[in-house]
Copies of this chain bind each other. A is one copy, B any other.
Amino acid sequence: MVEHRKPIPVAEAVERVIKKAQALGTQQVALGDSYGRILAEPLKASHDVPPFNRSPYDGFAIRSKDSMGASGENRKRFEVIDHIGAGAVSEKVVQEGQAVRIMTGAPLPAGTDAVVMFEQTIDSGSSITIRKPFEALENVSLQGEDMKRGAAIIDSGSFIHPGTVAVLATFGYAEVQVAKRPVVGILATGTELLDVSEPLQPGKIRNSNGPMIEAQLARMGISCKTYGMSVDDLDESFNVVKAAAEETDILITTGGVSVGDFDFLPAIYERLGAEILFNKVAMRPGSVTTVAVADGKYLFGLSGNPSACFTGFELFVRPAILKMMGAEKLYLPRTQAVLAEDFAKPNPFTRFIRASYDGLSVRPAGFNMSNAVSSIARGNALIVLPGGTRGYQEGALVDVLLLGVEEGTARWTL
């Protein structure tokens, strides 16, 4: 009656999923739409940075050799022959004993090779005096000192964050080549499921996994198609899954992957001729998570319980999507933190626990049974406890996966 499935380690499950990723191709988007996309071309410097020798201060550009011998007793005088702000180019060629008043960011005028800061001068308007000699190139930002033309700056496969956008803008990328996004479908299975707008009925609960996954996708900047809810009837379910899989690159189902009498996904995968990558993972919650591939498309069979569903998405779906987009960094950022309270349960399998991480310590987000809605409502991290371990004590250093730091902290502590 009970089908026997052999659990595989989480790392192996992740590996099997990643290997099946097929590239989605690329598209061009306007720079203003590029935030959050995966860069699909290497970004190179199209010019030196700075593009010319420029002044890093407000002051006066001079010929350094004219400052030789200056001292408090022997101040050197310079005639101010021009005045330029950033963006302006002086048309003068500076001669002996001359200076140009210059603002931060402006290019050094012809003939000059040093900048005297305002506070290093006595300024009479038409002329200045200085009391110390300046070296050639003193107080000058040299052309190319930050970056040489042609230098590789950002690799293809990088996430485009605000800093990346700044660099793209600097080098004139009005359009950016980025990875296409996958078409993702969500299908929540189970006759017990009501839509969010329906009143509660005996024996039923509202579908929370569908909207949750939609939000998990939204966090990655990816929209999705939802296929409503399939009834627990094999033929009808098969047709819905088949049609949905044809329209999508990735079809995520929730529920129906266990060994219950109405868990039709295993039979559906078989009928689709899908290759099952695994149907049992040595993890809690979510050991029944099943991933299959049919016609080059992913079929993610996530557990119907919310915590398991959530974790299954972050562990398996997220890196698969990133891999399809050619991203370099596929996995949730990991850190370590001090456990803020005892976690007494033994861990026959690797255990993932919803938790609140404050930057130093981490606390399980309350009641963490598979069905617990309350723990899902809190937490910004997953504690990972290795399989084969007994309970952990407060104060232990544990592994933590960060789930996104969209939410910050409530107190300024620096």
Q: Shortest beta-carbon distance, A397 to chain B, in Å?
A: 11
Contacts of A259 in B (CB 8 A): 58
- Among the 9-residue stretches A65-73, A213-221, A340-348, the one with 4 or more Cβ atoms under 8 Å from chain B is A213-221
Q: Bound state CA distance, A411 and B319, in angstroms?
A: 11
With contacts A85-B262, A190-B105 taken as known, whether A154 is within 8 angstroms of B377 at the C-beta atoms is: yes
Nearest residue (CB) in B for A170 is: B208
Report the bound CA distance from A85 to B306 in whole Å.
Answer: 18
User: Which residues of the partner chain B approach A158 to less than 8 Å between Cβ atoms?
Assistant: 407
Q: Quick check: B203 and A87 within 8 Å, CB to CB?
A: yes
CB <8 Å contact, A304 and B105: yes
* Interface residue total, chain A, C-beta cutoff 8 A: 135
B165 touches A211 (CB 8 A): yes
Q: Which of B359, B367, B401 contacts A335, CB < 8 Å? A: B359
Q: Is A391's beta carbon under 8 Å from chain B?
A: no
**Least CB distance, A153 to chain B, in whole angstroms:** 5
Known A-B contacts A86-B191, A123-B1, A146-B367; the reply to A260 vs B406 at CB < 8 A is no
Q: Which residues of B contact A369 (CB under 8 A)?
A: 56, 141, 146
Q: Is the CB of A166 within 8 A of B103?
A: no
| Chain A 14-45 interface residues, beta-carbon cutoff 8 Å to B | 14-15, 31-32, 34-36, 43
- Note all chain B residues with C-beta closer than 8 A to A153: 374, 377
Bound together, the chains give a CA A380 to CA B414 distance in angstroms of: 18
Structural contact, B89 and A162, CB atoms closer than 8 A: no
In the complex formed, the residue of B with least CB distance to A411 is B331
Within 8 Å CB of A107, what residues of B?
202-203
List A residues at the B interface (Cβ < 8 Å).
Answer: 1-2, 10-11, 14-15, 31-32, 34-36, 43, 47, 49-52, 56, 58, 83, 85-89, 101, 103-107, 118-119, 123, 141, 146-147, 153-154, 158-174, 190-193, 196-200, 202-216, 218-219, 232, 258-262, 304, 306, 310, 319, 322, 328-336, 350, 354, 359-360, 367, 369-374, 376-380, 384, 386, 399, 401-414
